Amino acid sequence: MASAVEAQKPLIAVCQMTSTSDKEQNFSTCSHLVREAAARHACMVFLPEAFDYIGSSTEETLRLAETLQGDLIQRYSSLARDCSVWLSLGGFHEKGSKWDKDPRISNSHVILDAAGDIVSVYRKTHLFDVDLQSGVTLRESAFTVPGAEIVPPVSTPGGKVGLAVCYDLRFPEISSMLSREGAEILTYPSAFTVPTGLAHWEVLLRARAIENQCYVVAAAQTGAHNTRRTSYGHAMIVDPWGAVIAQCTEGTGVCYAEVNLPYLQRVRREMPVQGHRRPDLYNRVTRKTPG
């Protein structure tokens, strides 16, 4: 049984990896990271977007997809149960219920409890369609159905966790809604490109932490997945004051931090930002005639 101090400062683990189209190898990597974190007594382990695989083509991405009832999620359920940890499966290629008529997937952030049960699923709402001058072109909407809702924060041993995925990081409306609903941790499992990661990754994560006075947790893909795609990495944990308190270096690994809930409450108490918000103004701009 956790002590009172451990309950107020739970340890979480945030993972970094390089997924490929080899689902078995990816599972082996994730299993090793989760077991390592469990041995360190982490109560919750966060895996990145596309922890299951990253395909080398749209056709391969769709062919490898599974349902939430499929073999892969069952294996992760067993892993959570064996290790007695909660898992954030940061971006699962989920076959939809209408697959025969609409063969596209959802980019689904799945939370498993320590019994291996699914307690929440958030399907990515903002899809990454970009053409960068650096040469990076991605069309997530070509094979992904956008999610239709934001889900409530999940009560976990690490705190109340608000769910998002990667590109959602650029849309602060989600984080604001989740923090108003009680989130203490905002999580952005990602596979950021190198150009956007170099320019925006850390500053966006720190901004979401500061403006919402939440811990921000960002598991990440890193390195070359295939000849067409490379990810930035730098998985990290940011505290409610905006300080980076843990970060992965290059390659596969895990970083750890305590979620200091008394500190979070102190930050919110000393600067009560939520109480200063003006939602009565935010949905409109008043246009007045000069003079």
Catalytic residues: 49, 124, 166
Cα–chain-centroid distance for residue 132? Answer: 23
> Which residues fall within 8 angstroms of residue 278, CB to CB, at 6 or more apart?
none
Under DSSP, is residue 178 helix (H, G, I), strand (E, B) or coil? helix
- Burial per residue of 83-119, b for 16 or more beta-carbon CB atoms within 10 angstroms, e otherwise: bebbbbbbbbbbbbeeeeeeebbbbbbbbbbbebeee
Helices and strands (DSSP H and E) totals, the chain: 10, 16
Under a CB-based contact definition with an 8 Å cutoff, are residues 35 and 254 in contact?
A: no
Burial of 6 by CB count in 10 Å (0-12 exposed, 13-18 middle, 19+ buried)?
middle
Q: What is the distance between the alpha carbons of residues 247 and 48, in angstroms, rounded to a whole number? A: 14
> Which residues fall within 8 angstroms of residue 166, CB to CB, at 6 or more apart?
49, 91, 124, 128, 188, 189, 190, 191, 192
Under a CB-based contact definition with an 8 Å cutoff, are residues 160 and 135 in contact?
A: no
- Can you give the length of the chain in residues? 291
Cα–chain-centroid distance for residue 243? Answer: 18
**Token couple for 135:** 């040469």
